[in-house]
Amino acid sequence: MSRKPYIREISKTNWFFSQPRYMRYMAREVTCIFILVYTILLVFALKNLAQGPEAYAEFLEALNSPLGILFNLAALVAAVYHSTSWFNVTPQAMPIQRGEEFVPGNIIVGAHYGGWVVISLIVLFLGV
């Protein structure tokens, strides 16, 4: 008896619509676009900063626009989603074993969230 296995094709371009968990994964992955564009924005801020007060004032003026507000809002959502998705999997990537037990995952995640809050408060305190 000859075999004739049937192969089910998977779409290479829209496979992630098939399951909610794949959608969550893609949402996590596309945060990188906002991180990348935002970091490039920081490089431009640096460029104008190096060129002197007038150029830097122009940068701030360009930022103070509907597009600037919209982008920063979107980047904020993306950045927060990246942070939570990153911290939530830290116990999987970096489990900590103490003797005959693993440190519970929620303690590792909690420590990251705690550090995140502290760093954010320090930056806000010094920056605003």
Min. distance of Cβ 107 from other proteins in angstroms?
A: 16
CA dihedral in degrees (101, 103, 104, 109; nearest 10)?
-160
Tell whether residue 94 is a contact of other proteins (CB under 8 A).
yes
Residues 30-89 that bind other proteins (CB under 8 A): 30, 32-33, 35-36, 38-43, 45-47, 49-50, 53, 56-57, 60, 63-65, 68-69, 71-73, 75-76, 79-80, 82-83, 86-87, 89
Asked if residues 99 and 42 have their Cβ atoms less than 8 Å apart, the reply is no
Residues 99-118 that bind other proteins (CB under 8 A): 99-102, 112, 115-116
| In the block, residue with structure tokens 């371009």 | 13
Tell whether residue 18 is a contact of other proteins (CB under 8 A).
yes
Min. distance of Cβ 3 from other proteins in angstroms?
A: 6
Min. distance of Cβ 91 from other proteins in angstroms?
A: 8
What count of other Cβ atoms lies within 10 Å of the Cβ of residue 34?
A: 19
- Burial category of 78 from C-beta neighbours within 10 Å (exposed 0-12, middle 13-18, buried 19 and up): buried
Quote the CA–CA distance of 120 and 83 in Å, as a whole number.
12
